[in-house]
Amino acid sequence: MVGFAMLCVVLCCCTIQAESLNGLSSSDIARIQAVQSVDVSPDEKWIALRLSVPRVPGVDDDGASWTELHLIDAETKQSKPFITGEVSIGDVQWSGDSKKIFYTAKRFGDEHSCLYQIPVDGGESTKVLTHTESVKGFDIRPDGTSVAFLAVKSGESAAEEYQKQGFNQQVYEEDEQPTLVWLAEFDGDEARNLKALQLEGTVYEVHWSPNGEQLAVVSAPTPTVDDRYMRRGVHVYDLKQSKIIASLQTSGKLGEVCWSPSGKEIAIISGQDQHDPAEGRIIIHDLTGKAPPKTYLNDYLGHVIDLQWLVPENLIFLSEEGLGSRLGTLSVAGELNYWDLDSHVVFTQLSASGNATKLALVGSTAHHPSEAFFVETETREITRLTDHNSWLSDRSFGKQVPIEWVAKDGLRLEGVLIYPIGYQPEKQYPTIMYVHGGPESHEKNAWLTSYSRPGQVAAANGFVVFYPNYRGSTGRGVEFSMMGQGDAAGKEFEDLIDGIDFLIKEGISDRDAIGVTGGSYGGYASAWCSTYYSDRFAASVMFVGISDNLSKVGTTDIPEEMYLVHHRKRLWEDWNYFLDTSPIRYVERNQTPTLILHGKEDPRVHPSQSLELHRHLKTLNQAPVRLILYPGEGHGNRRAASKFDYNLRMMRWMKHFLVDQKDTAPEFKIDYGQHLTLDSTSSVE
């Protein structure tokens, strides 16, 4: 970690060599591939890899990215495509003998997602399970004789017939079908004798015990998103007794659930309590009843994001710590050891076999998106296994560094700064501040460029890009992540201004050319900066953001999360609080050109939040304002065309007002053709 005093010296005295302007473009971002997950085979000979491959705007049919399956030889480190093309591979699991890979997908004319298997040594995929509804998840019994899978109960034929006649009304939050656990036995290569377990609520995960006699079931009382976030629990179902024999004590949000090799314990990543914004502590439950549940890492200034048992008494975990990540081992007795990996890679997922001599991880760096990595647990040597965007070696990048600053109340804060390509220390640059959502999230010193994150595309166009981790962010422990609760838009957003002032003081940013953008809670910050702090910002791009907390808490699909880990009060308990923390309360201050973008089907932050702010700013007519709605998109864009359009509009708005310093809005139309060059090296026009 760069110390504050040291950072000041670095920022004041550093000289960055001028680089080629062959930086990233919007069309580059539209074709970036990224590794989604890695899974080590039980015999440690193979690693199954899921790869996200975007559709090409203007070339492919519009839609979400494809997800391919690739296979890596653990000895040679060679990767080969396995199932590619127009496919969307879902959950992946190895057979116990490492000879087959099971996966979910919708293929070959399937009406719903089905369960397939494919042999590792060659051969075509075989469908092993078809259900009347999509298979949402599954787990193969350790002995390979049966499968537990998740699916909703099929609709009643009479109701389906009425729907065809136009009776398609929705009973809000009441007509959703719960997801059930189904069991099926394998008869050769086909699963038969399907039956549903009689369990209450809706199920999100199911895990076989090592002896195949019990199931760990993760469920919530209803299918609502709010219950999935805040009321999930873990239950142990015994197949011989046909009932739940234990409900594990949990509180708040849940992460990974993992049986120990002996089947005597279950480890869970959990929140500290119901007010903890994010899961990040480890709880081990003794199923023998000899000891109460034990919580580990209570005071850890980070958040655990993944774990896996190595041997009966030890597990390995991956955590987010500050701007990076960390691997460590933990014993049931509480012995904690961190791995000191000499790496600038930030990891986000791990997989180990039962022998645990080899470890696969997903990670990224400042100069490449998520790829697969390999770690020998004995030597702890890191090897990068894949390079799915080799063309990035032909691009120039702005220098990316961790930074620290001090808030007005003395709190130490941190973030990441990307310099423009060709940075000159004697100049001050237009700056885009990207505010992350959540706020239970945080920025890492890793790959920071996407369709909604300006990153290196902005650096190629002469911008400084600032990614702050304001109070309320994760990665620094529970206490830090709770600092913004009950104080929306208060000190948490003052931290943003303190960060901008720091960059101005250091001579990096031009105080008259500061822009802000972000999505969800970052969109809330963008709206706040274009109203309450409008005198500080020359451009704002708000994405799926909050403008009116009075109506937001009544139109969101996560009202209990908003209450428990955000506001900590109900609307009727403090009307003035919800009004005073709403950007619409300060619309008369607006002098900031504001671009507002929103998915029309967003259930998290209702599109009316953007409609409200747009209408008021347009009525006042004190600065340019524009609203872009994306049909079919929700809380973030999924389709290739929507993503491409967003990136073009965001960058054009920032350049138009921060660099060209125009007084009126740019033309609302976009000539997509001039940007749809896959080998483009040009910057935004």
Nearest to 97 by CA among 145, 156, 53, 130: 145
CA 328/CA 340 separation, integer angstroms:
9
Phi (first) and psi of residue 185, to 5 degrees:
-95, 145
Three-state secondary structure along 206-259? EEECCCCCEEEEEEECCCCHHHHHHCCEEEEEECCCCEEEEEECCCCCEEEEEE
pLDDT value at position 189? 83
pLDDT value at position 677? 65
Residue 242's alpha-carbon distances to 83, 199, 245, in angstroms, are 38, 10, 9
Count the alpha carbons within 13 Å of 556 in the hemisphere toward its beta carbon: 23
CA 578/CA 575 separation, integer angstroms:
5
Helix (H, G, I), strand (E, B) or coil at 618: helix
CA 590/CA 532 separation, integer angstroms:
8
The segments of the chain whose pLDDT lies below 50 read: 1-20, 679-685
pLDDT value at position 156? 60
Residue 126's alpha-carbon distances to 84, 109, 193, 640, in angstroms, are 16, 14, 18, 30
Q: Output the pTM of the full model.
A: 0.94
- Report domain extents, the chain: 4-24+395-673
Q: Which residues contact 512 (CB under 8 A, 6 or more apart)?
A: 538
Q: Which two tokens stand for residue 157?
A: 């034929």
Q: Which amino acid is at 246?
A: A
Asked whether the bond before 81 is cis by omega within 30 degrees of 0, the reply is: no
Three-state secondary structure along 479-528? HHHCCCCCCCCCHHHHHHHHHHHHHHHCCCEEEEEEEEEEECHHHHHHHH
pLDDT value at position 679? 46
Quote the Cα angle for 371-271-362, to 5°.
Answer: 5
Domain 4-24+395-673: CATH architecture, name and number where available: 3-Layer(aba) Sandwich (3.40)
pLDDT value at position 311? 80
pLDDT value at position 675? 86
Q: Which residues contact 667 (CB under 8 A, 6 or more apart)?
A: none
Report the side by side order of strands in the sheet with 382-384. 346-352, 358-365, 368-376, 382-384
Residue 445's alpha-carbon distances to 19, 36, 414, in angstroms, are 21, 19, 11
